[in-house]
């Protein structure tokens, strides 16, 4: 007699068997459903940004714990951290120019902690840095728990930040993009948020799948986190 599969495991198995186009469609539908839900329950969309930064702070706190207690940066991507720092620096500049409020303070704190992580990888823990694997040509990689928790938190943070932007644009009927400036770059900023969210969504899928399966490490088709 076959054991009854848990609903979450059954759904995960079904999704895994679907072709890429179906998976992409399901991801879009899930994202739209989540946006509608957030729009219904969150009155002040600025709270989404604050929540995004809070989740990011939790994730990077886990990462800092790993670096300070375990004295290793194995499995961490310096390139990803540098790209994150660049993204945050640009967003911080925009915040200084346009808002200069709680967003600016939170972005400053996030950027500083990210720069600290970069410093630790480049100098203090350089001997454990896996430079040869810090690329996009590796098809499978084992991700240990601390790194996985951090990237999952980053994925959730990016989704909340993206939701903040999208809902703001919808509520202002597109006027927000005009307020940000003219030309192509306002739309590109929003597009970059969406793309980054979907990239991290792939990791979050494997994270939840591994967590449900009781695994402490992840094996996913990607480069170093």
Helix (H/G/I), strand (E/B), else coil: 130: coil
pLDDT at 222 over 50: no
**Cβ neighbours around 107 below 10 Å, total:** 22
pLDDT-derived band at 224 (thresholds 50, 70, 90) equals very low
The 8-class DSSP code of residue 104 comes to H
Q: Which residue has better confidence, 93 or 3?
A: 93
Q: Is 193 exposed, middle or buried (0-12, 13-18, 19+ CB in 10 A)?
A: buried
**pLDDT in the model for residue 112:** 92
The 8-class DSSP code of residue 214 comes to T
**Angstrom distance (rounded) from CA 95 to CA 103:** 7
Summarised one tens digit per residue, pLDDT across range 26-82 is 777 887 888 888 888 887 777 888 888 888 888 888 888 888 888 888 778 888 888
Summarised one tens digit per residue, pLDDT across range 124-182 is 888 888 877 776 544 444 456 667 777 788 888 888 888 887 787 777 776 665 655 55
* Contact predicate 144/76, CB 8 Å: no
**pLDDT in the model for residue 27:** 74
Let me know the angle formed at the C-alpha of 27 by 24 and 33, rounded to the nearest 5 degrees.
145
**Angstrom distance (rounded) from CA 22 to CA 191:** 22
Q: Identify which of 116, 122, 113 has the alpha carbon closest to the alpha carbon of residue 79.
A: 122
The 8-class DSSP code of residue 141 comes to E
**pLDDT in the model for residue 115:** 93
Q: For residues 111-132, give the mean pLDDT.
A: 88
pLDDT at 200 over 70: yes
- pTM value? 0.67
pLDDT at 199 over 90: no
**pLDDT in the model for residue 6:** 64
**DSSP bridge pairs for 218:** 143
């Amino acid at each position: 007699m076959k054991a009854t599969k848990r609903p979450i495991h059954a759904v995960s198995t079904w999704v895994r068997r679907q072709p890429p186009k179906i998976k992409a469609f399901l991801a879009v539908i899930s994202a739209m459903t989540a946006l509608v839900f957030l729009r219904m329950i969150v009155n002040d969309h600025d709270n989404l940004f604050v929540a995004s930064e809070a989740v990011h702070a939790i994730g990077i706190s886990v990462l800092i714990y790993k670096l300070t207690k375990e004295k290793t940066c194995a499995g961490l991507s310096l390139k990803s951290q540098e790209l994150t720092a660049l993204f945050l620096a640009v967003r911080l500049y925009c915040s200084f120019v346009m808002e200069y409020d709680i967003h600016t303070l939170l972005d400053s704190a996030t950027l500083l902690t990210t720069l600290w992580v970069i410093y630790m990888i480049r100098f203090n823990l350089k001997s454990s840095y896996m430079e040869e694997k810090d690329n996009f040509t590796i098809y499978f990689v084992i991700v240990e728990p601390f790194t996985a928790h951090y990237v999952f938190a980053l994925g959730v943070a990016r989704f909340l930040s993206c939701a903040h932007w999208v809902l703001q644009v919808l509520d202002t009927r597109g006027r927000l993009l005009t307020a940000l400036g003219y030309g192509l770059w306002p739309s590109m900023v929003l597009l970059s948020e969406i793309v980054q969210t979907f990239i991290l969504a792939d990791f979050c899928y494997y994270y939840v799948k591994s967590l449900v399966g009781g695994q402490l490490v992840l094996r996913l088709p990607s480069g170093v986190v």
